[in-house]
Structure 1
């Protein structure tokens, strides 16, 4: 994909060192609150540490679409936090933050998309993660 499409690869500044060697010039460093302009509208960077220190989600407030990466998944699931820079307390706080958003569509980094009422899936993930903490 890198050779054919030459895409920009957006990464939170705290995860840059982990992936810089893989994406080189294509890497674009972002921070919490930054806006990424796309053909489908603006997506706000939401810093969601927990899976990694620099985990992030992208949110289109107008369309209520969330690219949830490795932070939150359908049916009350959530990302692993046992990796090198993962942290249970951080992922719980990140899920709490996401549970306050209005989300209709959620596009996770793994598994199927949620095409309606995604906020309910996120709230359940927050409840489930809180049981660990």
Structure 2
């Protein structure tokens, strides 16, 4: 696969039009189309915007490999996770998350934000 095929597959999975993605990212439809057709590649800042919009880690987009088991429905994932989480010890849960999370720093920052704890308390 390629960067273009990953963003195209994800866009289609999310039932989005090229026009919608291009407008949100701030590029022309022609530019976005060139990305999907692997004629050009997005800049780093555009990868970050695509990551946010398409709900895919930047690392996944840049790898050019679309994950096989990615859920397009967060509620479906949360339902499955909710059924399992109470049957796994904390250490195993965190270790498994570490092994499978593509963007550890982004995950950590998101949790820190949700916790509303002072950032300085966790630096170092």
Give the TM-score of the pair, scaled to structure 2. 0.26
Q: Which has more helix, going by share of residues?
A: 2
User: Which structure carries more relative contact order (alpha carbon 8 Å, separation 6+)?
Assistant: 2
Q: Which has more strand, going by share of residues?
A: 1
